[in-house]
């Protein structure tokens, strides 16, 4: 199938593009929705996406979803990213939702997945001040009381969308084994003992510190099995890395199109700067890289849909590595080709760069992705 879309998928992509153009097609609209670019998520606009039925694009029909696959979710992420739709809560939501779908109890799935379809945001609390790439170093601890309830103490950091999430999928230590002692928990927003502090970054205010002090959770808050969190996390890496790749593919395309539009119009020495060979070759190279990325991301998504019980560590890491590095390159090259205008806040290119540069860090750094790929070759 490759890059070819079904008729239904093509109609879906066209509808998302039309929505993005109508709701946030101008800089003025985007600034109004994002506080001048500081906020990545607008609840009102997100609610309109929910009303259209798009937020359940890859969730089962019994919970109100569309019953689509990962390829459909990737198309949605790509197009909303390209259209600069402030729906930043969706990416952590769909990643967490797939974990609930696979490992949650029926009660958890009914509560969480149906909420996602209605427009509720989910977050994942895994990283800590001393545990990022080394997930097994988590120290946030959940201890089980005699009555079966859990008490959680610790700190999480860099937690995307925790400030607007209805539920947080929390990963905590429940045993001493580095990888065999982790457990996932269902943590509703507003639970006593949870404090969320937003972190300012060059990309805006998307991430948070989450402090947990004597947080009490019921016995049935466990998602999956006790001490099985590591295996469950690994089972979901296909989804996380693929969704991040699709998101950055959309950004790379947008940065590229904005660059081409500029170099066609900007004149120096009596002609458009894009007509000079130095820039024309840069454009050609970027176009080729983005097309390769698009084919890779979509092919991996189709493979995951065709074989849902199989892990694709090599392919998912390749997609994440390629898409994020390409997005960063597209934004950097775009800024260089636009000159001083690319550096100003008058144009979107500086915003593209701020969004792209961190993508090679979160969700597993590019170095970690290369390490994973290398290990799949027995190295």
List the catalytic residues: 240
Give all strands (DSSP E) within 7-106, no chain letters: none
Cα distances (Å, whole numbers) of residue 257 to 25, 316, 348 = 14, 26, 11
Give, for 355, the enclosing helix (H) or strand (E): helix 349-357
Q: Please give the structure tokens belonging to residue 363.
A: 């969700």
Strand (E) positions, the chain? 122-125, 141-144, 150-156, 167-173, 182-188, 194-201, 204-217, 222-223, 267-268, 271-272
Q: Are 167 and 112 in contact (CB under 8 A)?
A: yes
Identify whether the C-beta of residue 366 lies closer than 8 Å to the C-beta of residue 327: no
Cα–Cα distances in angstroms (integers) from residue 334 to residues 137, 249, 323, 328, in the given order: 39, 15, 16, 10
In the beta sheet, which residues pair with residue 137?
A: none
The label of the residue with tokens 């109100």 reads 64
CA distances from 324 to 146, 217, 353 (A): 47, 37, 11
Interatomic CA distance for residues 143 and 219, integer angstroms: 11
Q: In angstroms, rounded to a whole number, what is the distance separating the alpha carbons of residues 55 and 369?
A: 28
């Amino acid at each position: 199938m490759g890059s070819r879309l079904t008729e239904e998928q093509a109609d879906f992509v066209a509808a998302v593009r039309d929505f993005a153009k109508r709701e946030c097609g101008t800089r003025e609209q985007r600034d109004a929705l994002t506080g001048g670019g500081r906020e990545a998520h607008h609840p009102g606009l997100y609610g309109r996406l929910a009303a259209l039925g798009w937020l359940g694009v890859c969730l089962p029909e019994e919970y109100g979803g569309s019953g689509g696959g990962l390829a459909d979710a990737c198309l949605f992420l790509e197009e909303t990213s390209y259209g600069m739709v402030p729906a930043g809560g969706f990416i952590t939501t769909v990643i967490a939702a797939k974990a609930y779908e696979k490992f949650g109890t029926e009660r958890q799935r009914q509560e969480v997945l149906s909420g996602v379809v209605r427009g509720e945001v989910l977050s994942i609390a895994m990283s800590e001040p001393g545990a990022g790439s080394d997930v097994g170093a988590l120290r946030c601890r959940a201890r089980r009381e005699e009555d079966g309830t859990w008490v959680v103490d610790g700190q999480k950091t860099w937690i995307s969308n925790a400030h607007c999430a209805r539920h947080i999928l929390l990963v905590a230590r429940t045993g001493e084994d580095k990888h065999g002692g982790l457990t996932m928990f269902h943590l509703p927003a507003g639970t006593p003992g949870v404090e969320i502090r937003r972190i300012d970054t060059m990309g805006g205010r998307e991430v948070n510190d989450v402090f947990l002090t004597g947080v009490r959770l019921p016995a049935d808050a466990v998602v999956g099995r006790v001490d099985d969190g590591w295996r469950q996390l690994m089972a979901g890496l296909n989804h996380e890395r693929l969704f991040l790749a699709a998101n950055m593919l959309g950004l790379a395309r947008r940065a590229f199109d904005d660059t081409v539009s500029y170099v066609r119009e900007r004149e120096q020495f009596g002609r458009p700067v894009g007509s000079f060979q130095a820039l024309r070759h840069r454009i050609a190279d970027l176009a080729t890289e983005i097309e390769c990325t698009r084919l890779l991301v979509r092919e991996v998504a189709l493979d995951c849909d065709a074989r849902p019980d199989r892990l694709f560590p090599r392919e998912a890491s390749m997609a994440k590595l390629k898409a994020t590095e390409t997005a960063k390159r597209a934004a950097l090259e775009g800024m260089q080709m636009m000159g001083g205008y690319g550096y100003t806040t008058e144009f979107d290119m500086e915003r593209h760069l701020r969004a792209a540069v961190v993508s090679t860090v979160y969700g597993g750094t590019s170095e970690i992705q290369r390490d994973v790929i290398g290990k799949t070759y027995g190295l």
